[in-house]
Amino acid sequence: MSTRYTRGMKIGELAARTDIPTKTIRYYEDIGVMPETPRDGSGYRSYGEGAVARLGFVRAAQSVGLTLGEIREVLAFRDRGETPCAHVAHLIEQHATDLAERIAALEAMRRDLDRLARRAGSAAPVTADATFCHIIEGQLTSGAASRGMGLTALTVSRRGKRAPAV
């Protein structure tokens, strides 16, 4: 290990080593993902090598889909001296289930869009009684929307839950 970092890194050095902007590092401190950092005699934050490892873990956890709140929970286990692996396994299983549900909802939406595109291709080009667009308004009058099969009903959030129709 280089003696350059044994004295502690300033936030700019940490940002350069981890490729994470200083603003993001400060935000992580604000929300508890990074612990409050001691300050040196001049009032600058002084980070050790543990900060590099922690930010690397945060990046890796984000890459597998964990939210910052979930990452904070995992890090809290470790900060208490506990092994977080069982908790992480549960989170990953939950994310896999949520993803499967989201994929199913997106596949259903694709089928609805394909059906609507075929209907639009065979429909009369313009109808005078359409307020905005006969293709979408036809979806409303076909009964699909009233049965919960409208495209807005299939809009899916990141967690795989159906978003409320607007």
pLDDT tens digits along 70-113: 999 999 999 999 999 999 999 999 999 999 999 999 999 999 99
- pLDDT value at position 18? 96
Contact 47, 16 (CB under 8 A): no
- pLDDT value at position 31? 96
- pLDDT value at position 28? 97
Q: Which residues of 53-85 are buried (b: 16+ CB within 10 A; e: fewer)?
A: ebbeebeebeeeebeeebbbbbbeeeeeeeebe
Low-confidence ranges of the chain (pLDDT < 70): 1-7, 123-128, 139-166
55-61 long-range contacts (CB < 8 A, ≥24 apart) are 55/14, 55/18, 55/20, 55/25, 55/28, 56/18, 58/28, 58/33, 59/18, 59/20
- pLDDT value at position 119? 80
Across the chain, what does the average pLDDT equal?
Answer: 82
